[in-house]
Amino acid sequence: MALRFRKTFKLAPGVRWTISGSGSSWSFGPRGASISVGKRGVYANYSIPGTGLSYRERLGGRSETPSAQLGPPQTTKVSLTCGIDDEGVLSFTDGAGMPLSEAVVEAAKKQNRDAILALIQRKCDELNDQVEALGRLHHDTPDSRVKPKFEPQRINLVAPERPTLRVPTFLEGLRKSVRLAIQEENDRALARFEGDTEEFERQRRAFYAAETKRRVLVEQLIYQDVQAMEDFLEANLQDIVWPRETQVAVDIGDGGLTVQLDVDLPEIENMPTKSAAVPARGLKLSVKELPAAKVRRLYADHVHGIVFRLVGETFAALPVARTVVVSGYSQRSNSATGHLEDQYLLSVKVAREAWEQLAFDRLAELNVVDSLARHELRRDLTRIGELRPIRPFQEEETCEV
């Protein structure tokens, strides 16, 4: 079971961590080239911009001799969209989203080969980067030796402009009804201006009040007020782009000297299991299953990276903290009962002095699995990369709710 903590909050996932989606697409329509479908077959149309000259080539059969002609051929043009999904499957649809015939698809491939290859390569890079990024979460851990600094924000408000009042012409001034109508119009414009000005001032005062409050939080309260420490730590963790919605519980004790966090880790079943490559021949994306050993290594790197990042973010956000304990648990089946239960897989106790010996400018070169072993670590990592349940630090303690 997870420990009971003083405060629990959820960290929302970011879009760049989405592992699966609807795929990428690219629409054809380069200047000077299109595909037409007529009664006599499928044609590729070519033109020289600015000359009025064009010719067409029959696709899937004999080609017509290019000939100069005025205006486009009497055919129906088709708008094409090429898409590719996470399995590497290409799709070609028309403007209404309907699949196209094989002849039109082949014409599209012939006419736009380079663009389709670029689309496939982008999708390949996207899929592989999403996999590799799961093992790089610790790379952006802040340097805890640098104290939080208040960075003033620019106000994004524009003061309303005083309206230009309408002045009656000589002839308009001779008619009382016209003069009154113009005066009423000016009065309404002035009333709107005064209302807009009042709202502007209200928003401006609220902005600077919030800025003052934030300055006090960063420069004073996080050094002396436990509630402020919790709020500031939560705000910093919420700014991180997490792979999925992540639940974290936190308890700050000893006036801020000790911080304990519990984090709900993903299950290994949630890890991506495929890699992508672009073959040297053909217009296709090759998507293959990752070996089980590589998936286990990715999972180990990922969960260690989560714990590592939480330790670093806590030390960086709370300069008074001297000891941070982070314990990660996951939902697994109890072999004795068959029920799912929270099982701790990783628990580390870190002193600030030891943490600040890290080379924060070279975290990309760090082996995160080995790095956590420099501290007091409870972990049962098998030779094949499996994490077995452990008893976390301070499991017997129940923190105040």
Does residue 17 register a pLDDT over 70? Answer: no
- Residue scoring higher pLDDT (104 or 158): 158
Q: What is the mean pLDDT of residues 137-159?
A: 94
Contact 39, 76 (CB under 8 A): no
Do 52 and 11 share a structural domain?
no
Do 115 and 241 share a structural domain?
no
Neighbours of 27 (CB within 10 A): 12
pLDDT (tens digit per residue) in 339-385: 888 899 999 999 999 999 999 999 999 999 999 999 999 999 998 88
Q: How far is CA 116 from CA 33, 110, 112, 343, 354, in A?
A: 15, 10, 6, 47, 51
Report the alpha-carbon distance of residue 138 to residue 307 in Å, rounded.
9
Domain range for 124 = 24-133
Do 38 and 12 share a structural domain?
no
Do 240 and 359 share a structural domain?
yes
Contact 399, 260 (CB under 8 A): yes
Report percent pLDDT > 70 for the chain: 80
Best CA proximity match to 287, nearest among 81, 90, 57, 64: 90
pLDDT (tens digit per residue) in 260-282: 999 999 988 888 888 899 988 88
Q: What is the mean pLDDT of residues 197-218?
A: 96
Q: How confident is residue 39, by pLDDT bands cut at 50, 70 and 90?
A: very low
> What's the confidence (pLDDT) of residue 401?
34
Cβ-proximal residues to 274 (8 Å cutoff; 6+ apart), any chain? 86, 127, 131, 287, 288, 289, 290
Do 252 and 358 share a structural domain?
yes
Report the alpha-carbon distance of residue 30 to residue 32 in Å, rounded.
6
Does residue 234 register a pLDDT over 60? Answer: yes
Report the alpha-carbon distance of residue 255 to residue 319 in Å, rounded.
12
Do 53 and 11 share a structural domain?
no
Asked whether residue 81 is domain-assigned, the answer is: yes
**For the chain, what is the mean pLDDT?**
82
Q: What is the mean pLDDT of residues 107-135?
A: 87
Best CA proximity match to 293, nearest among 273, 276, 277, 275: 273
Do 316 and 257 share a structural domain?
yes
- Write the Ramachandran bin of 303: left for phi over 0, alpha for psi from -120 to 50, otherwise beta: alpha
Do 351 and 244 share a structural domain?
yes
Asked whether residue 87 is domain-assigned, the answer is: yes
Report the alpha-carbon distance of residue 282 to residue 117 in Å, rounded.
9
Q: How far is CA 265 from CA 2, 259, 305, 367, 397, in A?
A: 12, 19, 11, 19, 21
> What's the confidence (pLDDT) of residue 28?
43
- Residue scoring higher pLDDT (32 or 186): 186
pLDDT (tens digit per residue) in 284-334: 888 899 999 999 999 999 999 999 999 999 999 999 999 999 999 998 877
Do 76 and 12 share a structural domain?
no
Do 13 and 100 share a structural domain?
no
Does residue 52 register a pLDDT over 50? Answer: no
Asked whether residue 215 is domain-assigned, the answer is: no
Number of domains comprising the chain: 2
